[in-house]
C-alpha cells in the first residue's frame, strides 16, 4: 500500500469522535451566533440575560466593541461558525489533502485571538459580561483545543 493510501486509511478510521464533536460544537456556535446576530439587527433586548450589574448582555452587545470596522461582531461570529461547520464535516476531516486541516487550524487560531480580544473588552472596557457571548467564547476555545490536539496527533493533516 502506498504512503498516501495508508495515511488516508489511517485518517479515515482513526478520527473517532473528533469530527462529530467539532461538528456539533460548530452547529451550536451557529445557533448562538445566529441568535446574537438577530438580536443585533433587531435591536432587541430579549437576550434572556440580566441587564443590570456585571452580567449585562445589552450593555455588551450595544457597546462600541460590538462592531469591528463597522461589521457587527455577532455577524463575524456567525461567519466563523458557518466556516467551522463546513470544515468540521466528517468527509472534510477524511480528505487526504492537508489544506482542510490547515484552514481549520488557521480559523480556530484567528477565532481564539478574537475571543481573547472580546473577553478583554468585556472585562476591562465594557465592565460587563454577556452570557450568550460567553457561550460563543467557550465553544471557540473548545474547538481550538480539539483542533490543536488533532494537529498535534497528526501534523501532516487530514
One-letter-per-residue 3-state SS of 116-141: HHHHHHHHHHHCCECHHHHHHHHHHH
CATH code for 17-42+50-153?
Answer: 1.20.1440.130
- Domain-by-domain residue ranges, the chain? 17-42+50-153
Residues with pLDDT less than 70, the chain:
1-15, 44-47, 155-158
pTM, two decimals, is 0.85
- Cell digits for 19? 469530527
Burial category of 83 from C-beta neighbours within 10 Å (exposed 0-12, middle 13-18, buried 19 and up): middle
As a residue count, the chain comes to 158
The confidence score (pLDDT) of residue 4 equals 47
* 47-77 burial code (b ≥16 CB/10 A, e <16): bebeeeeeebbbbbbbbebbeeeeebbbbbb
* Whether 46 contacts 39, CB under 8 Å: yes
| Interatomic CA distance for residues 122 and 23, integer angstroms | 28
pLDDT digits (tens, 9 = 90+) for 97-118: 999 999 999 999 999 999 999 9
* Whether 139 contacts 25, CB under 8 Å: yes
| Interatomic CA distance for residues 91 and 15, integer angstroms | 11
The confidence score (pLDDT) of residue 44 equals 62
The confidence score (pLDDT) of residue 11 equals 45
The confidence score (pLDDT) of residue 62 equals 87
* Whether 85 contacts 26, CB under 8 Å: yes
In 43-130, which ranges are continuous DSSP H helix? 57-61, 73-87, 90-93, 99-121
Amino acid at each position: 500500500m502506498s504512503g498516501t493510501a495508508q495515511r488516508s486509511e489511517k485518517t479515515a478510521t482513526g478520527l473517532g469522535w473528533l469530527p462529530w464533536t467539532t461538528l456539533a460544537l460548530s452547529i451550536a456556535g451557529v445557533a448562538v451566533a445566529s441568535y446574537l446576530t438577530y438580536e443585533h439587527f433587531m435591536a432587541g433586548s430579549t437576550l434572556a440575560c440580566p441587564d443590570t450589574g456585571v452580567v449585562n448582555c445589552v450593555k455588551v452587545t450595544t457597546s462600541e466593541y460590538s462592531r469591528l470596522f463597522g461589521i457587527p461582531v455577532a455577524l463575524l461570529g456567525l461567519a466563523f461558525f458557518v466556516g467551522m461547520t463546513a470544515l468540521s464535516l466528517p468527509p472534510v476531516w477524511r480528505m487526504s489533502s492537508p489544506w482542510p486541516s490547515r484552514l481549520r487550524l488557521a480559523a480556530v487560531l484567528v477565532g481564539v485571538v478574537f475571543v481573547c480580544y472580546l473577553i478583554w473588552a468585556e472585562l476591562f472596557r465594557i465592565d460587563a459580561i454577556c452570557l450568550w457571548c460567553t457561550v460563543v467564547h467557550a465553544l471557540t476555545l473548545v474547538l481550538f483545543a480539539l483542533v490543536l490536539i488533532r494537529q498535534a496527533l497528526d501534523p501532516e493533516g487530514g
